Amino acid sequence: MTELVDPFARRIQYLRVSVTDRCDFRCVYCMSETMQFLPKKELLTLEELDRLCSAFVRLGVRKLRITGGEPLVRRGIMSFFEGMTRHIDAGALDEITVTTNGSQLERFAPQLYAAGVRRINVSLDTLDEEKFARVTRWGRLPQVLRGLDAALAAGLKVKLNTVALKGFNEDEVEALLAFCAERGMDITFIEVMPMGDIGNEDRIGQYWSLRDLRARIAESLTLTDLRESTGGPARYARAEETGQKIGFITPLSHNFCEGCNRVRVTCTGQIYTCLGQEGSADLRAPLRGSESDAALEEAIHGAIALKPKGHDFDYSRQDVSGRVSRHMSHTGG
């Protein structure tokens, strides 16, 4: 079967799959507090998720990231990870990774490692318990910190994902860097993206350019740019004083689309070939319409043939341009 190459000669080797739109937090930049979640019948079953991911692996995908919502709140999700291990054992898949809020890691970290997961990303925007409760609305920081300890003890390599929020965590950059350095963890900072209706929250007020954040870090640490990539959108630098790797994901201040090798599939089987565009295609119908995967693989190729050059996120005129209507929790973080 022909590998997946988009109209701009980018080979698609990285698939991000949301296994649920549900989450046990309600982060202010991701969800409204009163979310309406999807009925169960619309979600792909775990068996369907296995078939779909396996089809992508046959078509050349080498990296699989499982996201949500919060993926570890999906009932029975460990059976899916255990099934996917066969592709790593066969050499068809390089790695399976997870993006999580950390709330369930105390319970699941050893099982994830046993299922072949070696790296995870944990979303954490503050080390202040009161601020954490405010930004997540429902979250408890001690639970997440215990999860981080459990993940490290299980042998997982942990990277923090921190959304840069103006007026919220500007004063915590140094503390977050030190927290990670002490534990041998890397960290990636992310600019807030205009996705979904989040109620009364102010997108412009939240936005903090990572150009400014990086300049702030450079006042105390020597940053050396790295050429390496983990297949995602981050650009990395090494802090010479600590040896830690610091990533910067800059969809607003520095578009990263030219090297995009990834697509996202939602928990309902919609494929989005660009995070910042509304265009999608349905993979659930061909998945459920036949026991053969021929129609599914044809639909995947058709979607990749329409992958756009890039997104249109823009805050430069103090207005939110390029906004997309769906929430990040639906697309997959």
Binding residues for [4Fe-4S] cluster, by number, are 23, 27, 30, 257, 260, 274
- CA atoms lying within 13 Å on the CB side of residue 220: 9
Beta strands in the chain (DSSP E): 14-18, 63-67, 95-100, 119-123, 157-164, 186-191, 223-226, 235-239, 245-249, 262-265, 270-272, 281-282
Known binding residues for GTP are 16, 65, 99, 159, 262-264
CA angle 177, 182, 183 (to 5 degrees): 100
Q: How many residues does the chain have?
A: 333
Calpha distance 310→331 (Å, rounded) = 16
Looking at the DSSP bridge assignments, the partners of residue 122 are 100, 160
Cα separation of 333 and 329, whole Å? 6
Would you put residue 231 in left (φ > 0), alpha (ψ -120 to 50) or beta? left
Residue-by-residue DSSP string for 82-133: HHHHHHHHTTS-SEEEEEE-STTHHHHHHHHHHTT--EEEEE---S-HHHHH
Enumerate the β-bridge partners of residue 120. Answer: 98, 158
Judge contact between 50 and 101, C-beta under 8 A: no
Binding-site positions read 16, 23, 27, 29-30, 65, 69, 99, 123, 159, 193, 257, 260, 262-264, 274
Binding site per annotation, positions for S-adenosyl-L-methionine? 29, 69, 123, 193
Distances (CA, A) of 49 to 54, 64, 184: 8, 12, 33
